[in-house]
A and B are shown apart, each in its own frame.
Chain A
Amino acid sequence: MLDVDGLTKTYDGHGRSVEAIRDLTFHVGDGEFVCVVGPSGAGKTTLLRCIAGLLDNSGGTVTLDGTPVTGPPAGMAVVFQEYGRSLFPWLTVRRNVEMPLKEKGLGRAERAAKVDAALASVGLRDSAGAHPWQLSGGMQQRVAIARAVAYEPRVLLMDEPFAAVDAQTRAELEDLVRRLWRELGITVLFVTHDIDESVYLGQRVLVLSNRPTVVLEDVPVPLPDNRDQLETRSSTSFTETRNHVYELVQTAKRGGRPAHAG
C-alpha cells in the first residue's frame, strides 16, 4: 500500500544544510492504522509532508500502490493540525466539505449525498450552514475530518490533528477516528507527539529517533480492535505497550539510535 523506502530530507538554505530525515524505511499495509511518534523536532511533520507529496524529498522513495509520490497523489487526504487555518473561512461548512468533491468532478446530487453522509458521520449535520469560525475548535476539526471522509481517500494522513483541542474533545475525536477507520476500511497514518494517543489509536506505533531521523522501533500494539477510553486505557497490555513506547521516546530524546543505523 504505502511504502517509504530510504527516505531522506535535507533542508538547504542560508549557506548551511540541515539534515532532517536521514533514512526512513517502513511499510503501511492496506487498511492498517499506523501511528508515528517521536520527540518534538523529530521531523514528524516533514515526514508527513513528504508522504503527502507537499514536500520534495532529498533521496529515497515514497510509493503509494506502486506509484512513486511526486506530488499530492489521488486517493489521499490530509488532516492538518491547524484546523482553523486548513478550512476555508469564506465557505460554509457544507461548501468546505463539498469543494474537493467539485474538484473531483462529481455531479451536484452525488456531492450533496456524500457531504450529508460525511457531516452526519462526524455529528455535524446541524452545522452545515455555519462558517468554520462560528464553531468550536473540536467541531472545526470534525469538519476537516468530514471533508477528508467525503473525499473517500484510500489513505488518510493526520498530522497531530488533536494537539490543539482540549482533553475531553480529544478523547471523542480519537474514538471518532477509530470508528471511521473501522467503518470505511481506509488506511490511516497518524502522526502525534502523544504517546498514550498513539498506543490507543494504532495497530502499530513507529517510534522515530531524534534528528536526523530514523525509525527507532516498530512497536506492534497488542490490543483488540474494539477499544474503549476507560477499559483499554486501564488494561495491562495498554500500559505495557505505553511504557515501552515511553521508554523508546526517552531513549530517542537522549539521542539513542537503533544499533544498525548511524
Chain B
Amino acid sequence: MTDLPRRVLAALGLPIVLVALWWVLSAHSSSFFWPPLSEIVAAFPRTWTADPIMHDVLPSLARLAIGYLIALVAGVALGTAIGSFRTLRALCEPTLEFFRAVPPPVLIPVIALFAGYTGWTAKVITIALGCVWPILLNTVEGVRSLDEVLRDTARSYRFGRTSTLLQVVLRGSSPRIAAGARQALSIGVILMVISELFGANRGLGAAIVQFQRSFAVPQMWTGIILLGLIGVALSGLFRLVEHQTLAWYRGLRQAERGA
C-alpha cells in the first residue's frame, strides 16, 4: 500500500511544479496577454457560472458524446465487416486511407454547406467523422489479426453467428478497438472545439474565441484551462472503463512477458 501515495505523488508532481512555475513567473507580469495566474484563478469562478456551464460547456460535451458514440458504433460495425471479409477489405482499404488522410477540420465548411453552420448537426457530424477513422482502422486490424485457432475453436464447437461475433470476434479485437477509441477521444475533444470556431455563438470553443475577440484575456485563459481539465477527466474516465474491461489483456501480456 506504500505504492499508492508514491503513485499519486508521481502523477501530481509535474503539474504542481508547472503550476508553481507559472504562478511565480507570471506573478508580476504586466503584459496584457499574459496576466498573472492569480488573476486567471480569480476570474475562473466568475467566468464559469451556472449559465455558461449550462449553455456552453454541457452542450459542447453533449455534442462530443453524441459524435463520439456515433463514431464508435459506426467504426466498430464497419470495421468488423471490413475485417471479416477479405474481398471487402481489398475494395475498401485504399479509399479508407484516402479519407483518413483528409484532416476533418477542412471538411467543416463542406459539412456546413449541407447541415448549416449554427445547428448541432454539422458539429456532431464533424466530431463523428474525425473520430471514426482510428476506431475503424483499428477494428479492421483487430478483427483481421484475431487468432485463427480461436476462430477454429468457435467453429468446431458450432458457435452461433451472434455469439461468434460478440463473444469471440469483438472480445478478441477489443484491445485494438480500445486503442483506436483512445486516439479518437483526443481527436474528438479537438474537433469539439474546432467545430465551434466557425460561425457558432455558443459552446466552449466559441466562448474561448469570443473572450479572445473581446480582449477578455484572463477569461480566455480560464477557458483553455477548463478544456485541459475536461481532457484529463475524459481520459481518466476512459482509463477506468478500459481497466475494468481489459483486465484480462493486461494479465495475458504480463504472463507472456514473464514466460
Contact = CB atoms under 8 A, between A and B. Distances in A.
Contacts of B153: 78, 80, 86, 88
Given A85-B150, A88-B150, A88-B171, A76 B156 contact: yes
| Chain B interface size, under 10 / 10 to 19 / 20 to 34 / 35 or more | 20 to 34
A236 to B, nearest CB: 39
B160 interface: yes
Interface in B135-189: 147, 149-150, 152-153, 155-160, 163, 167-168, 171-172, 174
B155 A72 contact: yes
Interface residues of A, number: 25
B158 A72 contact: yes
A103 B158 contact: yes
B99 interface: no
Interface stretch (B204-212, B232-240, B244-252): B244-252
Contact of B249 (A90, A99, A102): A90
A133 B249 CA distance: 10
B256 interface: yes
A120 interface: no
Given A85-B147, A86-B150, A134-B255, A99 B167 contact: yes
Given A99-B157, A151-B157, A78 B152 contact: yes
B165 to A, nearest CB: 13
A170 interface: no
Contacts of B157: 72, 77, 99-100, 103, 151
Contact of A133 (B156, B160, B163, B252): B252
Contacts of B171: 88, 90
Interface of B: 147, 149-150, 152-153, 155-160, 163, 167-168, 171-172, 174, 248-249, 251-252, 255-256
Given A72-B158, A133-B255, 7 more contacts: A54-B152, A80-B149, A86-B153, A88-B167, A89-B248, A89-B252, A133-B251
28 contacts: A53-B155, A71-B155, A72-B155, A72-B156, A72-B158, A77-B156, A77-B157, A78-B152, A78-B156, A80-B149, A80-B152, A80-B153, A82-B149, A85-B147, A86-B149, A86-B150, A88-B153, A88-B168, A88-B171, A90-B172, A90-B248, A99-B157, A99-B159, A103-B157, A103-B158, A131-B251, A133-B256, A134-B255
